[in-house]
């Protein structure tokens, strides 16, 4: 019997500390899961912020488009001579639309007139006068000329809460 008691004692001595090892392994696993969860949350927060910035830029560009369209509804339009964002289509080649230096020059483009909060810079727009387009009419009278429609291309650039959230929109307007 003494022999059995010493064998039990040996087994008892070998089992001491195993609970500590298991607890440490579980603690490491839980720590890794917590770190992964924090990283995922951080990435999602940055994505939501970037989406908000892009949305602000889009809304600002839309507002500038509407202002340009209201400008084109005026009874009399000024000459499209390349100043204040008014261009003839044969003069302006459109290659500078993606250049921020083009848009920052006040003589190249027209700044949106109202205040928009949370955007880095106010949106700007240009208007190009396109060649006239003949109207399609159901019948032509011999004594009436074919009417022409004035066509304009409006391009706007806006940024959201950061300079990286740039939005360029373009539309064609018939008058």
Q: What is the pLDDT of residues 34-51, one digit of tens each?
A: 998 888 888 888 898 899
Domain around 162: 2-174
Banded pLDDT at 57 (limits 50, 70, 90): very high
Banded pLDDT at 15 (limits 50, 70, 90): low
Is the pLDDT score of 11 beyond 70? no
Position 58 scores a pLDDT of 95
Is the pLDDT score of 102 beyond 90? no
Sign of the CA dihedral 134, 139, 142, 143? Answer: negative
Is the pLDDT score of 149 beyond 70? yes
Position 94 scores a pLDDT of 59
Position 1 scores a pLDDT of 46
Is the pLDDT score of 76 beyond 60? yes
Distance CA 146, CA 156 (A): 32
Position 82 scores a pLDDT of 81
Distance CA 64, CA 70 (A): 10
How much is the average pLDDT of 124-143?
79
Position 161 scores a pLDDT of 87
Task: Let me know if 155 is exposed, middle or buried by CB neighbors in 10 A (0-12, 13-18, 19+).
Answer: buried
pLDDT, tens digit, 9 for 90 and up, residues 58-67: 999 999 999 9
Position 29 scores a pLDDT of 93
Number of domains in the chain: 1
């Amino acid at each position: 019997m003494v022999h059995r008691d010493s064998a039990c004692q040996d087994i008892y001595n070998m089992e001491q500390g195993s609970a500590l090892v298991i607890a440490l392994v579980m603690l490491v696993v839980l720590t890794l899961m917590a770190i992964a969860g924090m990283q995922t949350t951080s990435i999602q927060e940055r994505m939501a912020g970037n989406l908000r910035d892009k949305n602000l830029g889009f809304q600002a560009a839309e507002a500038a488009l509407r202002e340009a369209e209201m400008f084109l509804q005026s009874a009399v339009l000024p000459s499209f001579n390349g100043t204040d964002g008014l261009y003839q289509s044969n003069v302006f080649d459109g290659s500078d639309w993606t250049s921020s230096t083009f848009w920052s020059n006040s003589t190249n483009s027209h700044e949106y007139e109202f205040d928009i909060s949370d955007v880095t810079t106010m949106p700007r727009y240009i208007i190009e006068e396109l060649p006239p387009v003949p109207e399609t009419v159901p019948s032509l009278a011999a004594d009436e000329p074919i009417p022409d429609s004035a066509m304009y291309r409006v391009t706007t650039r806006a940024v959201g809460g950061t300079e990286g959230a740039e939005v360029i929109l373009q539309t064609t307007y018939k008058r």
